């Protein structure tokens, strides 16, 4: 017996997640859900289910008034936005997993939901199987979230685990991730940190009420991590994780970044390995909560999409509570304690440091330990060039009230490190 309205679904995309979603619907009894049409890009590709379901004409879904829900699972953010917009204008509810599309068009998508009074849900876009967005909206509804910290990209976590635990080089670990199906054929979105920045932009809005475009977030990836960096981390009895981290300050502003970090063995995130994701959320009343689960893959992602479909059936829409509480902005005025290594010392811009604690040069590898203002890093690119890697050594969000470090120049450093 079901009292839920029947959802007639137009599915956009039949790739890893689309196929997973289709199979999950078929294997879930009691759902009052029918997938009526599947829109794909390449009509000639062989499919493993009834060929009559497929079309490459999106109008077959948009113009079909019986289809009341669109599930968008395509891999092209630009095309996805155009399709999602048209679906909402037609009064159809939309479920999506497309973090790039959502992060880049957040305000427009909020407007469309309001204008056409249709649900638009996207739980699968952030950490796939971890039920975090509705949790932030509902469970943390009346508790202020003070901080969010976590591993939000499964491919990079898999690669880093292999580099640290199995001593693979970056390219060997990337190949292993691609073989295991955890990285795209073109992995730039993952390994350069764009995917994590997209997800974090969505999490910051739902968790901390801070709306920022991903390009406004200080972030990098893991492409330049060298064997020497791995050796340094192991020598210090630390591991390396690409961490997304944000903290709300008493004035309501938010300090945030997505950067590789050295983390200690007693940090619970240290033990989150391979393709797993984890998030630590701290509320004023609730205290610290940890969520851990699969951050990618057909069924973990499809399960989140399915959960959104069930929520659409109940008429659920995100209330965007945190965004309504207090409009908070991002501030990059805090200091980051960093380790920056380079194959040539001159690649490290010493004048950007506020404080230098240590400089070392050995066997052609140079590194500097010190503090740099986040805003300084956001406005420069020298630390992202080939041969240079940056790691946060301690997450403190310290106020930038140190005097400028004028005392050491690159030339002097070269002498120090001889
Ligand atoms: N894979 C994961 O673990 C995961 C996890 C979380 C979120 N996501 C998100 O889920 C979405 C889908 O990812 P995926 O891994 O399933 O991608 P995928 O395997 O590459 O599949 C993409 C699908 O989209 C179709 N498509 C591409 N452009 C289209 C267009 N313009 N019109 C209609 N169909 C189009 C493709 O059609 P053809 O089959 O004809 O080529 C294909 O079926 C992405 O936004 C991704 O970021 C993925």
Q: Residue 407 above 70 pLDDT?
A: no
Beta carbon of 128 within 6 Å of any ligand 1 atom: yes
Pocket mutation for ligand 1, best pick of 11, 12, 13 (most atoms within 8 Å of C-beta): 13
Does the residue 24 lie in any domain?
A: yes
Does the residue 141 lie in any domain?
A: no
pLDDT for residue 183: 74
- Answer with the one of 125, 150, 185 that is the final residue of a domain: 125
Does the residue 252 lie in any domain?
A: no
Beta carbon of 293 within 6 Å of any ligand 1 atom: no
Q: How far is the CA of 14 from the centre of ligand 1 (A)?
A: 7
pLDDT for residue 406: 46
Whole-angstrom Cα distance, residue 279 to residue 288? 10
The number of helices, as runs of H, and strands, as runs of E, in the chain is 15, 16
Domain enclosing residue 32, as ranges:
7-125
Q: What is the CATH number of the domain that holds 74?
A: 3.40.50.720
Q: How far is the CA of 186 from the centre of ligand 1 (A)?
A: 13
Does the residue 180 lie in any domain?
A: no
Beta carbon of 73 within 6 Å of any ligand 1 atom: yes
Q: How far is the CA of 23 from the centre of ligand 1 (A)?
A: 15
Specify whether the CB–CB gap between 49 and 14 falls below 8 A: no
pLDDT-derived band at 324 (thresholds 50, 70, 90) equals confident
Which secondary structure element, helix H or strand E, spans residue 102, and what is its range?
helix 99-104
How far is C-alpha 37 from the geometric centre of its chain's CA atoms? 30
Does the residue 382 lie in any domain?
A: yes
Q: What is the mean pLDDT of the chain?
A: 93
- Answer with the one of 90, 125, 160 that is the final residue of a domain: 125
How many other C-beta atoms lie within 10 A of the C-beta of residue 266?
7
Determine whether 291 is exposed, middle or buried from the number of CB atoms within 10 Å of its CB (0-12, 13-18, 19+). Answer: middle
Beta carbon of 240 within 6 Å of any ligand 1 atom: no
Q: Residue 405 above 70 pLDDT?
A: no
Residues 25-46: pLDDT tens digits? 999 988 899 999 999 999 999 9
| Residue nearest to ligand 1 atom 44, measured at CA | 75
pLDDT for residue 418: 42
Does the residue 93 lie in any domain?
A: yes
Pocket mutation for ligand 1, best pick of 15, 60, 126 (most atoms within 8 Å of C-beta): 15
Pocket mutation for ligand 1, best pick of 40, 61, 155, 185 (most atoms within 8 Å of C-beta): 40
Whole-angstrom Cα distance, residue 112 to residue 132? 23
pLDDT for residue 30: 85
199 part of the active site: yes
pLDDT for residue 185: 67
Beta carbon of 98 within 6 Å of any ligand 1 atom: yes
Whole-angstrom Cα distance, residue 350 to residue 221? 22
Catalytic residue of the set 99, 146, 162, 199:
199
Q: What is the CATH number of the domain that holds 387?
A: 3.30.70
Number of domains in the chain: 2
Beta carbon of 152 within 6 Å of any ligand 1 atom: no
pLDDT for residue 404: 57
Would strands 365-373 and 334-342 be described as parallel, antiparallel, or unpaired? antiparallel
Residues 225-284: pLDDT tens digits? 999 999 999 999 999 999 999 999 988 899 999 999 999 999 999 999 999 999 999 999
Between the alpha carbon of residue 84 and those of residues 102, 162, 227, the distances in Å are 10, 38, 44
Atom of ligand 1 nearest to the CA of 40: 34
Beta carbon of 39 within 6 Å of any ligand 1 atom: yes
The b/e string for 162-199 (b: 16+ C-beta within 10 A; e otherwise) is bbbeeebebeebbebbeeeebbbeebebbbbbbbbbbb
Beta carbon of 209 within 6 Å of any ligand 1 atom: no
Specify whether the CB–CB gap between 369 and 350 falls below 8 A: no
pLDDT for residue 363: 76
Residues 325-366: pLDDT tens digits? 766 789 999 999 999 999 999 999 999 999 999 999 987 789
pLDDT for residue 408: 55
pLDDT for residue 409: 53
Residue bearing tokens 């203002």: 373
DSSP notation for 339-402: EEEESSGGGS-GGGEEEEEEEEEETTEEEEEEEEEHHHHHT--GGGSTTEEEEEEEEEEEE--S
The b/e string for 62-98 (b: 16+ C-beta within 10 A; e otherwise) is beeeebbbbbbbbbebebbbebbbbbbebebbbbbbb
- Answer with the one of 82, 109, 125 that is the final residue of a domain: 125
Does the residue 254 lie in any domain?
A: no
Q: Residue 173 above 50 pLDDT?
A: yes
Does the residue 173 lie in any domain?
A: no
């Amino acid at each position: 017996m079901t009292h839920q309205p029947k959802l007639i679904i137009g599915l956009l995309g039949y790739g890893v997640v689309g196929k997973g979603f289709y199979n999950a619907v078929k294997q879930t009894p009691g759902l009052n859900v029918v997938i009526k049409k599947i829109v794909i890009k390449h009509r000639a590709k062989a499919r493993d289910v009834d060929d009559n379901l497929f079309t490459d004409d999106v109008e077959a879904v948009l113009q079909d008034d019986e289809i009341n829900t669109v599930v968008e699972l395509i891999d092209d953010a630009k095309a996805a936005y155009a399709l999602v917009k048209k679906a909402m204008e037609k009064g159809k509810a939309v479920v999506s997993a497309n973090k790039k599309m959502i992060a880049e068009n957040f305000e427009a998508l909020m407007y469309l939901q309001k204008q056409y009074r249709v649900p638009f849900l996207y739980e699968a876009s952030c950490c796939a199987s971890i039920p975090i967005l509705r949790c932030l909206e509902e469970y943390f509804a009346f508790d202020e979230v003070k901080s969010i910290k976590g591993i939000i990209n499964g491919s990079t976590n898999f690669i880093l685990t292999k580099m640290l635990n199995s001593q693979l080089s970056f390219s060997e670990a990337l190949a292993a991730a691609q073989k295991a199906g955890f990285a795209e054929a073109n992995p730039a979105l993952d390994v350069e940190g764009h995917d994590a920045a997209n997800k974090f932009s969505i999490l910051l809005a739902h968790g901390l009420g801070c709306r920022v475009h991903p390009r406004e977030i200080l972030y990098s990836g893991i492409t330049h991590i060298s064997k020497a960096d791995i050796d340094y981390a192991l020598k210090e009895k630390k591991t390396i994780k690409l961490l997304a981290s944000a903290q709300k300050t008493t004035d309501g502003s938010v300090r945030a970044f997505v950067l590789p970090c050295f983390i200690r063995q007693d940090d619970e995130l240290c033990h989150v390995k391979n393709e797993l994701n984890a998030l630590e959320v701290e509320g004023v009343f609730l205290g610290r909560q940890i969520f851990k689960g699969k951050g990618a893959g057909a069924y973990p992602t499809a399960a989140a999409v399915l959960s959104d479909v069930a929520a659409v059936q109940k008429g659920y829409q995100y209330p965007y509570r945190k965004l309504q509480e207090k409009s908070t902005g991002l501030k990059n005025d805090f200091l980051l304690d960093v380790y920056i290594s380079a194959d040539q010392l001159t690649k490290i811009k010493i004048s950007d440091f506020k404080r230098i604690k240590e400089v070392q040069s050995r066997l052609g590898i140079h590194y500097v330990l010190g503090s740099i203002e986040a805003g300084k890093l956001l406005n420069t690119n020298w630390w992202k060039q080939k041969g240079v890697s940056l790691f946060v050594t301690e997450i403190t969000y310290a106020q930038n009230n140190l005097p400028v470090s004028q005392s050491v120049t690159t030339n002097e450093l070269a002498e120090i490190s001889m």
